Structure 1
Amino acid sequence: MKIVLGADQYPEYINGAATFTARLAAGLADAGHTVDLLWPSADGGHDTYLDRGVRVHRLSSVTLPGRPRMQVCLPPTTRRRVENVLHVARPDVVHVQSHLGLGRTLVRAARRDGVPVLATNHFMPENLLHHVPVVRRFPRTAGRLAWRDLERVYDDADLISVPTRRAADLLAASTTLRPAEVVSCGIDLDRFAVSRTLEATSRPSLLFVGRLEQEKHVDELLTAFAHLPRSLGARLEVVGMGSLRSSLEALTRSLGIEDSVRFLGAVDDDELPAAYGRADVFVMPGTAELQSIATLEAMATGLPVVAADAMALPHLVQDGVNGRLYAPGDARALAVALAQLLVDPVLRARLGRGSRTRAQAHSLSATLEEFVGHYSRLVGSRSAGRLPGRSLALAS
């Protein structure tokens, strides 16, 4: 098939949606499909090139005010580029990853051309609103308006997908859109396979991977880390970038833990398995996770996970089976859970095996197969004359 993918998240601003989109595009191309991928340019300019068999279109973008590392596409200036790509690519199906500037432009252009649209939702208002100062003081009102905006765009999609059942429930509770299909983002299980031993390490290591933004609550992790007994000799590695890095580094100094905490910034995708391999415990304190690819990757490497009991994380982490859950915001409870694992290598090994087992249900190959199946049914519906049409429901 000929497939056009579009995402408002882009590789340089590392997050789960961008990571998933890149892996989906490469996997589809490897399977023999023709893939065009559209996302914002990191430097504002327009460019087109081939990457791993994918024809990549970096569209003109502007910097979000107050967020120098965040680029966004504006619909009026993006529309012509999007229409040109659709005209040349002549796709069988369009798959968007968001409802923002580029996503909504692509949905509307596809509808005009009669091309079926699959829309995946990775969005929660909490992931976006704190980046926009003008609405930060009115989070509830802004959140409702954000959901209404998503609903207007995704109502024109023929099929909607989400990565977890919790994400499906949230979408149903927040919008009047029809039920979404659940398709895990998936990961390459072989790539994240790590051999681990039962030997106790002299300095057990904790790991966090993710954006350094408000909803990830890395400050909570640092506070909990400061509560750990110094006799444990624990280390913490923080992988990721974001607007809060400097303030989080200042917090480590004020807590007196700067000698035990390393901020590694963004690491290359090829270096990630090594980061997981150095760790003994993975920590995810985020409260706005519709799945959490980083947590899935950690599980695939056989790491026990300590996670906030929030949003979709309990779908991945089962207390006592592959990790520990704690009440969000309770840094002392987080510290207790971390200490339990850090002092007990046997427990870590057992929970790590549980992580690896639970990760098996989220293989990238299965995800690709599911999406290709959905694409095929959408194409079949168009051929049968049932498209275009609004909010087409398809059986799984």
Structure 2
Amino acid sequence: MGETFSFAPPSRHRTHGTAQQDGPAGSARPRVLIGSDTFPPDVNGASLFTARLARGLAERGGDVHVLCQSPDGRPHVAEVAGVVEHRLRSVPSMVHETVRLAVPAGLPGHIDRLLGRLRPDAVHIQNHFIVGRLLLRAARRHGIPVVATNHFMPENLFTYLHCPPSLRSVIGVGAWRDFVRVTSEADHVTTPTRIAAQLLLEKGFHRPVEAVSCGTDLHRFRPPEGGDAERARIRRRLGVPDRPTLAFVGRLDAEKNIGELVEALGHMTDSDAQLVVAGTGPQRSHLEELAEQCGVADRVHLLGFVPDVDLPDVYHAADVFTIAGTAELQSIATLEAMASGLPVVAADALALPHLVQTGHNGYLYPPGSAGDLAKYAGEILANPRDRARMGEASRRLVSQHDHQASLARYEEIYRGLAGIRAATGG
């Protein structure tokens, strides 16, 4: 499940502090502390991956703890779905209506005490901002090995930071330099795809990087049973007409380029086709206005927030999954759509070509070209036989991304690091 890209000879970092004990006596799986600046109820790819990683490891018998921000500002500890959540005091981020940030004051001491009490076999950070950065530094002091997974793209922050386009290149260079400086201190670095690993090389990260898929639940996300009748029933349940349907699932943010999906409807020869979008974000009003301007408001359905338990129905209501984002390191939603048996029309950008094979399970279109998106989506909708063939191909391709295999690989990484630590007396 994991592929290693050795861009430079591996290096081991010296650690300081007293030796740490392994996880619980007799435990077959290491005790892990996962650190992240974003965690549910936040809605984004990093948050979703972190939650599914933590809960998946716990379901497999792991002793899993998560250090993350509190959703209401109040620090507390709670066990949820077998995972112990250590929620930190937080404040509004001021740049996003729902995102909160952990308060740095007093946090290093708190993390030191937590590490001393838990004595985890490994720390796994999901970002290099407040929580990830301070947890990595503390783990080095305690001699605890660190795994770092990259979900970072500066493009995902520019809109929130109100960064002028003229400054984005310079700020992006500085942001990547900071990422490389911080993350190079980790013992093992992963990212979801080979393309994302290559990106790190291009940005100056000269350490081995392993591609480990975010993975998807192939049992939960699967083609619907019952054919067209079942699809019609699901559409009624979601409150949308029984029409040929394009779908998108994700944040309504600028870098997702959802406006291209709306514009594509106006280019399609099938005037009955509709777009169903599941997700929330600051672009909602813009998308509503754009749909009016394009004359397709009656065919654009913004469902808003859809609970995770109901997400399979969104894919089951669709005939084609469409995604226009140009800053995707993998795209969990695309994996879910493929597992649900959908053809995919995606922007030919960053890691999306890793998932879409033109003519096999869908098409790639030039980013920004709503006309090409409409052409490819229209071809799929017009040919039920090809649509079924491409959906089956999606399902076969995504079988390589079973989240159980991803979880098993992370367990191997933790055990390997814990073994090196024990052998060296670190």
User: TM-score higher than 0.5 here?
Assistant: yes
**Which residue of the other structure, out of 92, 95, 99, is the alignment partner of 2:121?**
92
Deviation (angstroms), 1:337: 0.8
Structure 2 match to 1:293: 332
Q: Equivalent residues in 2 for 1:183-222 (5 A)?
A: 183-195=212-224, 203-222=243-262
The correspondence of residues 37-116 of structure 1 with structure 2, limited to 5 A, is 37-116=66-145
Find the partner of 1:276 among 315, 336, 347. 315
CA RMSD of aligned residues (A): 1.7
CA deviation map 1:312-345 (0-9, x unaligned): 0011011011001100011111111111111111
Structure 1 residue 130 displacement after superposition: 2.2
Aligned equivalents of 1:285, 1:134: Cα separation in 2: 21
Q: Could you say what secondary structure the match of 2:124 adopts?
A: strand
Matched, 1:242 2:281: yes
Aligned partner of 2:147 in structure 1 is: 118
Partner of 2:9: none
- Which residue, 59, 62, 66 being the options, matches 1:33? 62
Task: Compute the TM-score of the two structures, normalised by the length of structure 2.
Answer: 0.87
How far apart are residue 194 of structure 1 and its match?
2.0
**For residue 272 of structure 2, what is the aligned residue in structure 1?**
233
Distance 1:153-1:325 versus aligned 2 partners, 3 A rule? same
Q: CA deviation at 1:136?
A: 5.4
Whose RCO is larger (CA < 8 A, sep 6+)? 2
Identity of aligned residues (%): 47
1: CA distance between counterparts of 2:365 and 2:226?
27
Q: 1:382 to 1:262 in 2, by over 3 A?
A: same
- C-alpha spacing 1:59/1:2, structure 2 compared with 1 (3 Å): same
1:317 to 356, 370, 384: 356
Question: TM-score when scaled to structure 1?
Answer: 0.94
Query: Partners in 2 of 1:28 and 1:199 — Cα distance?
Result: 37
Q: Could you tell me how far 1:137 is from its partner in structure 2?
A: 4.1
The CA deviation at 1:177 is: 3.2
| Residues 386/333 of structure 1: CA separation in 2 closer, same or farther (3 Å cut) | farther
Provide the C-alpha distance between the structure 1 equivalents of 2:204 and 2:69, rounded to a whole number of angstroms. 27
| 1:364 is the counterpart of 2:403 | yes
Q: State how far apart, in whole Å, the 1-side matches of 2:66 and 2:318 are.
A: 34
1:16, 1:293 within 8 Å by CA — same for their partners in 2? yes
2:413 is aligned to 374
**Secondary structure of the residue that 2:424 maps to in structure 1?**
coil
- Secondary structure of the residue aligned to 2:396 is helix
| Counterpart AA for 1:227 | H
Greater Cα shift, 164-173 or 5-14: 5-14
Worse overlay, 81-90 or 320-329: 81-90
Q: Which moved more, 1:341-350 or 1:285-294?
A: 341-350
* Structure 1 residue 101 displacement after superposition: 1.0
- The match for 2:375 among 323, 326, 336 is 336
